[in-house]
Amino acid sequence: MNKGLLVVLSGPSGVGKGTVCSVLRRKQADLVYSVSATTRAPRQGEIDGINYFFKTREQFQDMIATDALLEYAEYVGNYYGTPRDFVERTLCAGKDIILEIEVQGALKVKEKFPEGVFIFLLPPSLDELKQRITGRGTEAAEVIDHRMSVAMEEMNLIQYYDYAVVNDEIDAACHRIQSIITAEHCRKDRFLAGLEAAKEASKKA
């Protein structure tokens, strides 16, 4: 009954996942951030086990082969993924852990960890999402159009999530996510599972 929750936060690019996650962690200090594994070299100031778990390519491929990752992807020649062991150890210690991830990665996590709490972050409107992407001022019009097209496809996958939160205002969005976490801890199913486990343990004692 004291097991933590895996909270998976995802949504289309530009919706503000990183910002919401950063503010949420400041508001809820006991919420653990999921540390990814990667094969890229550490940058100056990065610490193994805090920023990333830095792995050789051979080590990462071994993690793939032994199903030690909840999800992984290869980007610009390097692997990135979510170590299963870190997540499970954190949950067994009774701590909630949040994983901020893209939509496709979240669906892979759901296949292996369906008991997680999956939250889809939405923009207030498509016009607002386009403004946020355009506001970066770093991409050409055709790139923006492509990203909007991808965002539309990703939003069609909201059906696979447990909750939807509109990121209209960061503090309000964080409050909604905190309310979801509180409600999930109060689900009777989680208590029943814990009671059954306790009964089995008492029989063996």
Q: pLDDT tens, 2-61?
A: 789 999 999 988 899 989 999 999 999 899 999 999 999 998 999 999 889 999 999 999
Q: Which domain holds residue 25?
A: 1-31+96-205
- Residue 202: pLDDT band by 50, 70, 90 thresholds? confident
* Chain-centroid distance, C-alpha 3: 18
| CA–CA separation, 129 and 199 (whole Å) | 50
CA dist list (Å): 74 to 60, 81, 193: 11, 9, 37
pLDDT at residue 136 in the model: 60
87 lies in the same domain as 174: no
160 and 75, same structural domain? no
- Clarify whether residues 121 and 190 are in a common domain: yes
Picking from 94, 114, 133, the residue at the C-terminal end of a domain is 94
205 vs 203: CA distance, rounded Å = 6
Determine the Cα–Cα distance for residues 13 and 167; give it in Å rounded to an integer: 13
| Same structural domain, 57 and 87 | yes
CA 135 to chain centroid: 25
pLDDT at 138 over 70: no
Percentage above 70 pLDDT, the chain: 96
CA atoms within 13 A on the CB side of 198: 9
Whether 135 and 71 map to the same domain: the answer is no
Q: To which H or E segment does residue 143 belong?
A: helix 141-155
Which distant-in-sequence residues (6+ apart) come within 8 Å of 161 by Cβ?
Answer: 106, 118, 119, 120
Q: What CA–CA distance (Å, rounded) separates 130 from 148?
A: 7
